[in-house]
Amino acid sequence: MASQGDARPTLKTLAEITGLGISTVSQALRDSPAIAEETRRRVQLAAQQAGYRPNRAGVRLRTGRSNVITVILNAQDAGSGFFADFVYGVSSGLAGTAYHLVITPYDYHDQMAPVRYVVETASADGVIISRIMPNDPRVRYMAENGMPFATHGRTEMGICHPYHDYDNEAFAYEAVRQLAARGRRRIALVAPPPDLSYFHHTHAGFERALRDFNLEQFPLATYSTDTPLAEIEAAGRDAARHPHRPDGIVSAATSSAFAFAAGFKNAGLVIAQDFDVATKHSSPMIKIAMPEMIYVEEDFKAAGRDLAELLIKSINGQAAETLQHVVGPANGTAR
């Protein structure tokens, strides 16, 4: 039982209430300069009293704009803190704007499908994607089809687009630097998946630091942050039993850092004594659970928020060249 006036009010309702025409009402609500000041006030008051809310389907049908921003995320990420923080960040970046947030998860094996779907059905005014590759077919596709988008990571394909990226080169360098400062000499890197852009950045920073601090690299098989944790734990155990075992570990993902460290621990070694681990820090819980680790900051919430803002600016016509951020571990927003 609705309290009064059963159906929800439309422009027609307001037109009847005020005795004006429908298009007058429509324009008055959108502050059109063609409408007399007094009329506008009258209409807006009536709208408020009637509890008028524009019908989004009507608007969308007429204007072709959906007022939706969609975040396309790998379902595999769901377990990680990244997913929650990132989504929250985007949603807070969208708060107060006309845009709603829609999550589009996709299955590991087909990353193009959700992008095609969104573009074909025009179900969003803008798209945010993650897990960016240097040559990313999603980026090419959206650019060619005129769908506004922003990426969480950089590409290397000569297409200029809005992005936000974490400076993983600086992260890896800083991680190694801190390990070196604790006297660690043989460092192992649990790298990101090799097809992703930040694999290269991470590697570059890692190697630059090895040179600068004159350290050895412990050559690890290509375990990536996508490998199942049990496998990484096993790799950690193996490495720990190696005659020239590493005494420092760098991992781009908290979960694999934990798993690798667990492997060391299960092999009888003690963290902060026999070895150290440096990884990224995002959730406060992690830090409180494992205070012995070395943490370098990465703020996924801020990344999500920034991407939302960049994307909206891009939709509003701002040039992509001015919508590219790289933020480092220490500083706020650079470049």
Binding site for DNA (CB under 7 A): 7, 10-12, 19-24, 26-27, 29-30, 34-37, 39, 52, 54-55, 57-59, 61-63
Residues 6+ apart with CB under 8 A from 3: none
Binding residue (CB under 8 A) for its own copies from 204, 262, 267, 320: 262
**Positions 64 through 103 that interact with its own copies (CB under 8 A):** 66, 75, 77-81, 83-85, 87-88, 91-92, 95, 100-103
Query: Which does residue 67 touch among its own copies, DNA, none (CB within 5 to 8 A, set by kind)?
Result: none
* DSSP-derived 3-state class of residue 49: helix
Nearer to DNA, 36 or 334 (CB): 36
The string of DSSP letters for 254-282 reads: HHHHHHHHHHHHHTT--BTTTBEEEEEE-
Q: Which long-range contacts (CB under 8 A, 24 or more apart) does 16-22 make?
A: 17/46, 17/50, 18/42, 18/43, 18/46
Nearer to its own copies, 23 or 55 (CB): 55
Nearer to its own copies, 93 or 205 (CB): 93
* DSSP 8-state assignment for residue 334: B
Q: Which of 169, 176, 74, 125 is nearest to 311 (CA)?
A: 125
Q: Which of 81, 82, 73 is nearest to 130 (CA)?
A: 73
Nearer to its own copies, 216 or 274 (CB): 274
Q: How far is the CB of 194 from its own copies (least distance, A)?
A: 22
Nearer to DNA, 39 or 224 (CB): 39
**Is residue 57 close enough to count as binding its own copies by CB under 8 A?**
yes
Q: How far is the CB of 166 from its own copies (least distance, A)?
A: 18
Query: Which does residue 51 touch among DNA, its own copies, none (CB within 5 to 8 A, set by kind)?
Result: its own copies
Phi, psi of 228 (to 5 degrees): -55, 140
Rounded-to-integer distance, Cα 305 and Cα 303, Å: 5
Query: Which does residue 144 touch among its own copies, DNA, none (CB within 5 to 8 A, set by kind)?
Result: its own copies
- Give the residue ranges of DSSP H helices in the chain: 11-18, 22-29, 37-50, 56-63, 81-94, 112-121, 137-144, 168-181, 197-213, 229-241, 254-266, 284-289, 300-315
Residues within the interface to its own copies (CB under 8 A) = 1-2, 8, 51, 53, 55-58, 60-61, 66, 75, 77-81, 83-85, 87-88, 91-92, 95, 100-105, 120-123, 144-145, 229, 233, 254-255, 258-259, 262, 283-286, 288-291, 301
